[in-house]
Amino acid sequence: MFSPDIVIAAVLNGLLTGAVYALVSVALTLVYGVLHIINFAHGAILTAAMFAAFFAHQAGIDPLLSVLFIAPAFFALGYAVQRWIIGPASHGDDRNILLVTLGLSIVIENVLLAAFRSDTRSIDVPYGFSVVDLGFVFLPMPRVIAFGVTCVVAALLWALLTRTDTGKAIRAVAKEKLGASLVGIDVTHIYAVTFGIGAACLAVAACVLLPSYYVNPRVGTAYVLVAFTVVVLGGMGSVPGAMIGGLLIGVVESLSGLYFGESLGQLGIFLIFILVLLVRPTGLFGARA
C-alpha cells in the first residue's frame, strides 16, 4: 500500500513520539507502583509544567535550559502536594485518593483556564524546524532531542531506583508497605518523594514537548489518556513496561494515523486500552492483578 520508506519513517516518528509517552507514563506507573492508585491529577500537572516552561521561554530561557530549574521546582511541588494535601485529605482510603487527585486535576486545569483563557500558545526556538538527516529519512530535531532526553531520564531513574538508598526504600514501600515501615522507612516521606519524582518527570516531558507542540489548559488530558493506556498495557507499576508500552503506543498511533487517518488513530488507542483492561488487566509485563 505504502512504500517501505514511508512506513519506516512513520515507525521512526512513532518511536520519537512514543519516547515522550514513555516519559509521561513512567511517572504515572511509578506513582501507581508505590501508592497503588491512579493519579488523576497527572495530566493537569503536565499542563502546569508546560505553562511554566512557556513563561520561562517568554522570559528568554530556552526550555532545554529551564528544565534544570523547572524539574526541581516540580519535584518540590509534587512532594508538597502529596505530603500536605493528598495524604492528609484521603485518610488512607484508596477510593479517597482517587477522588482527591480527580479534584486536584479539576482545580489545576480550571485555575489555568481562568488565568490564561483557552488560548493555544506555542513558542519559537532556533532548532524548531531543523531536521536530522539519516540518509533515507528526515527526523524533526525537537523530537530527536526529546528522545535523547527521555533516554537520559530513564537511565537516571534506573540508577536512582537500583543504586541509591532512596531507590531501595521506594521499591521496598512498593512491595510491602507495612514491612517497610517496620524496618524504619518513613512511608509518608517515601510516598511524597515518589510523587515528587513523578512530577519532576512530567516537568522534563513538558520542557521537551513544548518546542514541537503547543500549550493550552486542556493539553495534558490528551497525554494522560494515552499514558493510562500505556501504563495498563505495560502492567500497572512496571517501569520497563511503561517504557516499552510508550514506544509501542507511539508506533501504533503513527501507523494507524497513516492507514486510517488522524481522528481514528486516537480511537485505536482507546480500543486497545479497553481490550487490554478486559482481557489482561495485569498488562504485558505486570505480575499483580
Separation of alpha carbons 25 and 224, rounded Å: 8
According to the binding rule CB under 8 A, does residue 98 interact with another protein? yes
Rounded Cα distance, 235 and 26, in Å: 11
166 or 188, CB closer to another protein?
Answer: 188
What span, in angstroms and rounded, lies between the C-alpha atoms of 137 and 60? Answer: 32
Interaction between residue 80 and another protein (CB under 8 A): no
* Binding residue (CB under 8 A) for another protein from 92, 95, 124, 126: 95
Three-state secondary structure string covering 30-45: HHHHHHCCCCCCHHHH
Task: Please report how close the Cβ of residue 264 comes to another protein at its closest, in angstroms.
Answer: 8
Given the complex with another protein, which of 80 and 151 has the nearer CB atom? Answer: 80
**Residue 36 or 168 having the CB closest to another protein:** 36
- The C-alpha R_g of the chain, in whole angstroms, comes to 19
Interaction between residue 109 and another protein (CB under 8 A):
yes
The answer to whether 225 contacts another protein (rule: CB under 8 A) is yes
Q: Are 24 and 202 in contact (CB under 8 A)?
A: yes
Cα–Cα distance, 66 to 53 (Å, whole number): 7
Q: Which of 213, 274, 175 is nearest to 24 (CA)?
A: 213
Is residue 64 helix, strand or coil?
A: helix
Rounded to an integer, what distance in angstroms lies between the CA atom of residue 281 and that of residue 283? 5
Q: How far is the CB of 9 from another protein (least distance, A)?
A: 26
Are 192 and 76 within 8 A, CB to CB? no
Q: Applying CB under 8 A, does 287 fall inside the site for another protein?
A: no
Cite the DSSP H helix spans in 36-132: 42-58, 63-80, 87-90, 94-116
Give the binding-site size for another protein (rule: CB under 8 A): 50
Among 72, 88, 128, 148, binds another protein (CB under 8 A): 88
Sole binder of another protein in the list 206, 232, 247, 251 (CB under 8 A): 232
Residue of 149, 202, 236, 249 interacting with another protein (CB under 8 A): 236
Q: Cβ 256 to another protein, closest distance in Å?
A: 13
Rule CB under 8 A: which of 7-66 touch another protein? 32, 36-38, 40
H/E segment holding residue 140: strand 138-140
If one asks whether residue 119 binds another protein (CB under 8 A), the answer comes out as no
Q: Which x/- pattern over 242-281 shows residues binding another protein (rule: CB under 8 A)? A: ---------------------xx-xx--xx-xx--xxx-x
Q: Per rule CB under 8 A, is residue 106 in the interface with another protein?
A: yes
Question: Residue 198 Cβ, how far from another protein at the closest point, in Å?
Answer: 15
Beta carbons within 10 angstroms of residue 176's beta carbon? 11
Among 97, 58, 54, 87, CA closest to 203: 54
Comparing CB distances to another protein, the nearer of 11 and 277 is: 277
Q: How far apart are the first and last CA of the chain?
A: 40
The footprint of another protein (CB under 8 A) covers: 32, 36-38, 40, 85, 88-91, 93-96, 98-100, 102-114, 117-118, 217, 225, 228, 232, 236, 263-264, 266-267, 270-271, 273-274, 277-279, 281, 289
